[in-house]
Structure 1
Amino acid sequence: MTEEEFPQDVRVRLGRIAREWAQSHGDPFPGSIRMVRTTRAQASGFLNPGVTSEDVVCYFVVVEGSFVIPRSPRNSPQTGTWVALFIDPAYMVVDGHSLRPAEGIPARPLETLGTVCLL
C-alpha cells in the first residue's frame, strides 16, 4: 500500500485521534505523527521482539512529543517522548498504547512494518 492509497478521510481522522490523545496527555502540539497499517501481532513484535498478539489489522500510529499519563497519588506519572497508539480500523478508537522515554524507542525503522504515512 502506498501513502497515496490511504484514503484522505482515514488520514484526517487518524491525525485528529493522535492529536487529541497527545493533547489529553500533556502535549497540545506534538511533533511527528506517522502511521502504518499492520497487524497487532507485527506491531507488538516491533515494540517488544518476541512478543505476540492477535493477528488482526490495526493502524499503528506513532506520535513524538512530551507526554504524561497520571497514575494514583502514590505513584509517579508515566512520562515519555514517543507513544505508539493501536487504533482499531473498524471503530477508529485507540484500544492500546505504549509510551516510551527516548531511550526506550525501538531501534528498528517503522517502515519495517509497511508503508508509512505522515499525518
Structure 2
Amino acid sequence: MNNSSAPEQLIAAPTLKIKPKSQTDSTLLKYRCMVFYRFVLAIFGGYLLSALTAIVIAKAFIDSRATAAIAATLLAFCIHCAAFIWVFMVHKTIKASLGIFIPCLVLWLTSQFLGA
C-alpha cells in the first residue's frame, strides 16, 4: 500500500484540563493523610490484633504453657504481617479500619470470657 494514496486523518490533540493549584494541593493532602492513617492503622492496629490473638491462644491452651506461648508468639507475628499487608490491599479505608477493629473487639471479648 502506498502512503500517499491513504487519506490523511486529522488527529485531535488531547486537551489538558488544568486544575487550580489549591484543588490539587487539597487532593494531594487528603491522599497523604489517608496513607498516613493506613500506616498508623497497620502498625498499631496490627500490633493490637496480634497481641490479643496471642493472649487468647495462651489462655485457651493454658494446660501446656510452653507450647501455648510459643504457638501464640509465632501466630502473632504472622497475623501482624498479614494485617499490615491487608490494610494496604483493600480499596476503602473504612473497610481497612473495620477489618482491624472488629476482630480486635471479638478477641478482647473472648479473652474476657476466658478469664484471667
- Tell me the TM-score normalized by structure 1: 0.26
Q: Which structure has more strand as a fraction of its residues?
A: 1
- Tell me the TM-score normalized by structure 2: 0.26
Query: Which entry has the higher C-alpha Rg, 1 or 2?
Result: 2
Q: Which structure has more helix as a fraction of its residues?
A: 2
